[in-house]
């Protein structure tokens, strides 16, 4: 396998933010309104802090093996056959996650704009473009993410400034009206929006600068994402009543409809379309990670990265034909939420414990 080029701290920051931000921004306030109600923002905040703990966890694991990516040392922790199995599982998980994000975005797009366009057409274009990006190296992916970074900034500003059109801060009160239980439940749902920081598992050894710097950058990235989500949820909660939020699946789009610009009538359409940049940044990172983990099935490397990526893309395209209805999609995505907790928090924690007990890594690294 070719050796990966190093990326700078800034590049890691962008990649992490772009990987974390995804389709969830659109639906987060709606999803959380069912659970956390008025205290959505609190759930989002606490969930972000949980993600921060997760980052420290991954960082801890990574810093035990500072010269190699996760897929290379996984078999050192649990042994060769089991390690290959772990890599295989991660590969499948990332491919599946990439697929779910693609399907969710295309579904949103279809509902809002392309009502009669066949699903697979929209999906295929997005998959192809993400596959094309995913065949490049980590450094080039970072370049791509940096180029697309403009869009989250614009989106954030658009969303933040929409509060000019009147908001009702009293909607936030009373805080913790129903105690901590709904907030805690909300943390679980909000957590899926933070997933993506697991990029650290792979990228850790390729970042320029020391271990501490990596942790600092990841925390900064997480904080930025957290800020983004908190602003989104605050604005949605203040601009809509709770009953409305329960009915509106994508409140952000409605908020943008509010903008009255002389030249453009519907900003929301432009937003939804150019949101593809943000979504694709998540998808290609997933595809890339998936291809990398498949490649690392054996020590020498199995197959070429590009071949794996196109296989994954083809499978995703095939898979899309089996998910026709809204109902299927919701189920799949909630399944993916559970999976992601297992793969992003559960497995790394387990591996860290095993690695601690067996005491591998420290010396050999």
Contact with other proteins (CB under 8 A): which of 17, 45, 144, 200?
144
Q: For residues 271 and 250, is the Cβ–Cβ distance under 8 A? A: no
| Alpha-carbon gap, residue 363 to 180, rounded angstroms | 45
Q: Is 109 in the site for other proteins (CB under 8 A)?
A: yes
CA–CA gap between residue 204 and residue 13 (Å, rounded)? 12
Please state the closest distance from residue 47 (CB atom) to other proteins, in A.
28
Cα–Cα distance, 66 to 365 (Å, whole number): 7
Does 279 participate in binding other proteins (rule CB under 8 A)?
no
Interface with other proteins (CB under 8 A), residue total 33
- For the chain, count helices (H), then strands (E): 17, 0
Q: Does 136 bind other proteins (CB under 8 A)?
A: yes
Beta bridge partners of 155: none
First to last CA, the chain: 20
Which of 69-77, 88-96, 134-142, 237-245 is the region at the interface with other proteins (rule: CB under 8 A)? 134-142
Q: Which two tokens stand for residue 95?
A: 């491919």
* Phi/psi of residue 69, nearest 5 degrees: -75, 165
Which residue lies nearer to other proteins by CB, 96 or 151?
A: 151
- Candidate segments 37-45, 71-79, 133-141, 221-229, binder of other proteins by CB under 8 A: 133-141
- Supply the minimum distance, in Å, between the C-beta of residue 171 and other proteins: 30
For residue 306, state whether it binds other proteins (rule: CB under 8 A): no
Q: Is 122 in the site for other proteins (CB under 8 A)?
A: yes
290 vs 9, 94, 147, 330, 341, CA distance in Å?
Answer: 23, 5, 23, 23, 17
Among 53, 116, 173, 263, binds other proteins (CB under 8 A): 263
Q: Residues of 128-153 as b/e, b for ≥16 C-beta within 10 angstroms?
A: eebbebbbbbbeebbbbbbebbebbe
Q: Is 280 a residue that touches other proteins (CB under 8 A)?
A: yes
Q: Using CB under 8 A, which of 56, 82, 113, 157 touches other proteins?
A: 113
Find the binder of other proteins among 16, 149, 200, 255 (CB under 8 A). Answer: 149
Rg from Cα positions in the chain: 20
- Region of 211-219, 262-270, 303-311, 314-322 interacting with other proteins (CB under 8 A): 262-270
Instruction: Give the binding site for other proteins (CB under 8 A).
Output: 10, 14, 109, 113-114, 121-122, 125-126, 129, 132-133, 136, 139-140, 143-144, 146-149, 262-266, 269-270, 273-274, 276-277, 280
């Amino acid at each position: 396998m070719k050796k990966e080029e190093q990326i700078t701290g800034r590049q890691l920051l962008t990649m992490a933010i772009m990987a974390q931000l995804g389709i969830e921004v659109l639906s987060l306030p709606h999803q959380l309104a069912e659970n956390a109600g008025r205290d959505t923002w609190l759930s989002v905040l606490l969930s972000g802090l949980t993600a921060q703990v997760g980052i420290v966890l991954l960082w801890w694991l990574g810093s035990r093996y500072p010269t190699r990516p996760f897929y290379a040392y996984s078999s050192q922790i649990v042994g060769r056959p089991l390690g290959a199995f772990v890599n295989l599982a991660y590969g499948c998980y990332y491919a599946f996650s990439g697929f779910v994000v693609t399907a969710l975005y295309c579904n949103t797009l279809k509902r809002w704009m392309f009502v009669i366009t066949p699903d697979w057409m929209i999906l295929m274009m997005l998959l192809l473009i993400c596959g094309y990006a995913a065949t490049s190296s980590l450094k080039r992916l970072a370049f791509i993410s940096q180029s697309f970074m403009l869009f989250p900034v614009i989106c954030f500003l658009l969303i933040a400034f929409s509060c000019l059109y009147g908001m009702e801060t009293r909607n936030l009160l009373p805080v913790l009206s129903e105690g901590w239980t709904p907030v805690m439940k909300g943390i679980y749902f909000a957590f899926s929006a933070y997933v993506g920081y697991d990029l650290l598992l792979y990228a850790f050894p390729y970042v320029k600068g020391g271990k501490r710097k990596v942790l600092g950058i990841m925390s900064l990235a997480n904080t930025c994402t957290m800020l983004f989500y908190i602003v989104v949820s605050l604005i949605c909660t203040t601009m809509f009543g709770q009953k409305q939020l329960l009915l509106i699946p994508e409140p952000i789009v409605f908020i943008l409809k509010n903008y009255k610009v002389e030249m453009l009538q519907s900003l929301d359409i432009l937003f939804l379309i150019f949101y593809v940049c943000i979504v694709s940044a998540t998808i290609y990172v997933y595809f890339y990670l998936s291809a990398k983990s498949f490649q690392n099935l054996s020590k020498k490397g199995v197959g070429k990265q590009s071949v794996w990526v196109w296989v994954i893309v083809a499978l995703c395209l095939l898979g899309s034909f089996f998910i026709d209805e809204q109902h299927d999609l919701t189920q799949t995505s909630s399944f993916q939420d559970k999976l992601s907790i297992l793969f992003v928090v559960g497995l790394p924690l387990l591996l860290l414990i095993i690695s601690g007990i067996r005491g591998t890594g420290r010396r050999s690294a």
